[in-house]
Amino acid sequence: MNRSYLPACPHPKPLRIVSIETSVPTEIMPWLIFVRIRTEDGHEGVGETAYGPGAVTSLIHDWMSERLLGADALAIECHWRFFYERFANFGVRGAELRAISAIDLALWDIMGQVCDQPVYRLLGGPVREAVPVYNSCGNPTYGLRTDGKIGWPGYGSYGEPGPLQDSYNFFHNPVELVTELKEAGYNAMKTWCFDEAAHRDGGMTISNEFLAKAVRPLEKIREAHGDSFEIMIDGHGFFMLPAALRIAEALKPFKPLWLEDVLKMDNIRTLADFRRQCGMPVSASEMLLSRADYLDTLIHQAADYIMVDPTWVGGISESARLAHIAQGFNIPCTMHDCTGPLTVFAGVHVNASVAGCCFQETVRAHIHTFYKDLIDEFLPIADGHIALPTRPGLGVKLNPDLFTDRFDYRKTELPRA
């Protein structure tokens, strides 16, 4: 018998994919891209990724659709591996891995609906009844320029006075911000106090004068709230080793839960050196984009936590694998968000099914503003935890208006018989 490796329809009765749609919600958040996959029996699954929407759209419609249209929607691993191996010819990372991620989410969404189960149950969960959560202190338009166009990651404005301006309020009203977050059900937050210094000289140096000013909100929070609230610090990968060590020294009195990407993330050996020298918990984050990067990090003992973005690293499939690998090193895995709503749902499914996961990142300034225009219902947050999805599949529906010509919309489908 002639058996091929990674066939598109391995099952004798495949659940055939008949259309693939993409939408870039230009008026709402122009860096996001949504995917909707439909099967011939009427199931539809949705996925998401962020950044480079034009490149991802082109990969999906002009190339990946060649394999997916008419193929079995439930052969998730088969498709994942096929695309991974083809894209390995030119490095995989980047738009290619983000396109794989968006497709992977949509196929898991279909799988869950076919099985009438939330995805986390198909991944072996639940291992917990709710997922620990923290609030990242962005503002509603973090990462956008003042003209509404896409900005640069790590170059978000510090915001302005007003509700949900968590970035602004961290610097101007830090004690009140923590009180408000506690009342909203959070007991941890992530913030970034040093970006401005990096924008001046590429993160090579940081003055003691700037450091003293940057940590003042942390002093006020510890004075008023004691140690009752966990704080994570993100350096957005801006600093070189001497500046990163100075930052770590300045942060020590405030006992942050982790230092995330204070160092630039393009040399794992320097990260391992930073971790040993600073003597504080280090998180290596979503800036790593392949299992090779994460394995290197774990083998070189460069991090106390790894953070994964499920819509950048290869979807739910690869995120769950990475979380399991990290557990083998006794290193907790945390799931990233600062992008779009399906990223959170995907992260919660992985968090709910891998015992070694410890946190889901959320941005309340996004949840209560533009996420509402994109999805039907978010997950409740209370007592420092986010609830598990209850509906089959990813457990969320996208606003159907997204898949219309109102937005940057494209559809590729099988020719009708």
Q: Which residue has the tokens 């994460």?
A: 294
Least separation in angstroms between CB 280 and Mg ion: 16
Least separation in angstroms between CB 113 and Mg ion: 32
Other beta carbons less than 10 A from residue 330's beta carbon? 9
**165-173, 267-275, 279-287, 378-386 -> range binding Mg ion (CB under 5 A):** 279-287
User: Is residue 234 classed as helix, strand or coil in its secondary structure?
Assistant: strand
Nearer to Mg ion, 165 or 285 (CB): 285
Nearer to Mg ion, 23 or 339 (CB): 339
Least separation in angstroms between CB 285 and Mg ion: 5
**75-83, 273-281, 283-291, 393-401 -> range binding Mg ion (CB under 5 A):** 283-291
Least separation in angstroms between CB 261 and Mg ion: 6
Q: Judged by CB under 5 A, how many residues of this single chain contact Mg ion?
A: 2
How far is 35 from 48, CA to CA, in rounded Å?
A: 6
User: Is residue 371 classed as helix, strand or coil in its secondary structure?
Assistant: helix
Least separation in angstroms between CB 291 and Mg ion: 19
How far is 220 from 347, CA to CA, in rounded Å?
A: 32
How far is 284 from 218, CA to CA, in rounded Å?
A: 22
Residue closest to 348 by CA, chosen among 396, 314, 300, 313: 396
Other beta carbons less than 10 A from residue 180's beta carbon? 17
Nearer to Mg ion, 236 or 246 (CB): 236
Least separation in angstroms between CB 391 and Mg ion: 29
For 196-211, letters b (16+ CB in 10 Å) and e give: ebbeeeebeebeeebb
Amino acid identity at 387: A
Nearer to Mg ion, 15 or 338 (CB): 338
Binding of Mg ion by 360 (CB under 5 A): no
**5-13, 162-170, 230-238, 362-370 -> range binding Mg ion (CB under 5 A):** 230-238
In the list 109, 234, 309, 337, the residue contacting Mg ion (rule: CB under 5 A) is 234
CB 280, CB 255: distance < 8 Å: no
Q: Which residue has the tokens 């891995």?
A: 97
In the list 22, 113, 169, 285, the residue contacting Mg ion (rule: CB under 5 A) is 285
Nearer to Mg ion, 106 or 363 (CB): 363
- Can you state the angle between helices 95-115 and 76-87, rounded to 10 degrees? 170
How far is 207 from 211, CA to CA, in rounded Å?
A: 6
Nearer to Mg ion, 285 or 343 (CB): 285
- Can you state the angle between helices 315-328 and 95-115, rounded to 10 degrees? 100
**40-48, 117-125, 278-286, 310-318 -> range binding Mg ion (CB under 5 A):** 278-286
Nearer to Mg ion, 87 or 194 (CB): 194
Binding site for Mg ion (CB under 5 A): 234, 285
